[in-house]
Structure 1
Amino acid sequence: MYQLLKDLPPRFIQDTYATIKVKVFRKVKGRYTTDDGTTPTLSFLLVDEEGTKIHAAVNDLAYGTFEDVPEGAWIKIASAVVSSATWKDPNHLLSTHMSMLIIPSTATCSPIPPLSDHHFFNFTSFEEVNSGFFNIAYPIDLIGTIHTVGKLSPTKNSAGAERSIPFTITNARNVELYCIAYGRVAEEFSYHWLRPHGAVVRCILSEWRVSRSRVMHSMSYEDMIVDGGEYCRFWFDPDMPGLPPMVRRNEGEDANFSEVVEMGDNSSA
């Protein structure tokens, strides 16, 4: 027997342990420093078959048991503890569960067959993004077609700013979003963009965020999509079952990569 994440108690209950079957949606390693040196840390973002996501912090003594669990694996965890606290990084609110899990040294982990073939994306419509009501702390998933890509900024500049690369993506209704990646993400985006690909490049942005910037010499603002730092991901021409299909329309003398677009905003995969 196991519990769905939505059925876990909302707070810590003494001597109550949970058995769950989940996919490792994200895996985050870190380190913290004490007077005795540095200690590795390990956290997961776990998702169950219904798409509920919860953060889980691995106890120091359980680190060795869970260190080699790969991102994307389906696992059964026994003896996890519900905590009333949350690991919700205020800059990256990825969890959809109000509490979090602590994985103690007594917890066990075993691989299981996948319970779902979903990728657990929750695609936001481009029109919703342009509504301007998104909090930058909340990540979103987008799927579209690359329209334009700018140049990667120089490695060094007088302002000491991170490297960046701007690009735009469009949806099936030719709604365009302006996007910009920074630092590591910008370099990876540029590297993959410069590799051989077709005239049409479909793109998924996962865990990116909406930002607003003031238009120069104006009191108005414009929306842009910015990368989510260490947590964000992107894919070019992803080969993933269950994604919204591609369609071609308006074929003619102007038919080009911008005419091959995706369908399926507001869908989950």
Structure 2
Amino acid sequence: MHAFNVYIDESGDEGFQFRDNNRGSSRWFVLSAAITRAETDLETVKLVDRVRAQLGKAERADLHFRKLNHGQRLPYLAEIADASLRTVSVLVHKPSLQSDAYSEKGLLYNYATRLLLERVSWLCRDARRDAQHKAKLVFSNRSNMSYAELGAYLARLRQRRDVRIDWSAVDCQNVAIFEHSKRMGLQIADAVASAVWSGVNPNGYGFTEPRYAEMLRRTMYRHRGARFGYGLKVLPAEIITNNPPPGAEWLQGADWV
């Protein structure tokens, strides 16, 4: 049986072709998970229906956070912040990485998935009521994603001793991949990833918007009171403690670390 549903989506791209004025590839790549208890999943994800109605969207309309204006995003995030769910986000500052180490197609996404699943597994392990129950993983479909490739990658991770995923807490044998529009939980994960991404990736005028992430702070996975490294995992971690990129200074705040 599944104790949790874990909806996973991304924001930003995996490229390393950076240009001036924040053109070209995005500086940051964010992979996020929205985690619900299976027994209350439907009740939780129906927040998307309430947001559609509030925004005057058609029934079953596909909500994409980045297609909403600022005024529409706020009530959406307010609903998520009040929901019975938890979130985990992995933030990758690509200019701080060696691009040749991640040049292989899908490698950056895979590594972010590993870091995400580590934290998701810890959360689900500690929150489950039955040690036999696991979390079901639901990924948003990507143009270059396949069940076979994802399954093969997870199988390789299981063979590595340096991977800290608690395999007893996540079901990697029955991974699901759906179009964003087919699962309301994936639309929530999209909003979480895009909200966090907006807090670190400058817009065309050079400004970030950390307010979105701050609205979701209550939902972020905490371990012994700490969000940093758990609900928010930054790669490489030292850029926040040493010299955060412009616009990401808010991550140094005591409420985050």
TM-score normalized by the length of structure 2: 0.23
TM-score norm. by structure 1 comes to 0.22
Q: Which has the higher contact order (CA 8 A, sep 6+)?
A: 2
* Greater C-alpha radius of gyration: 1
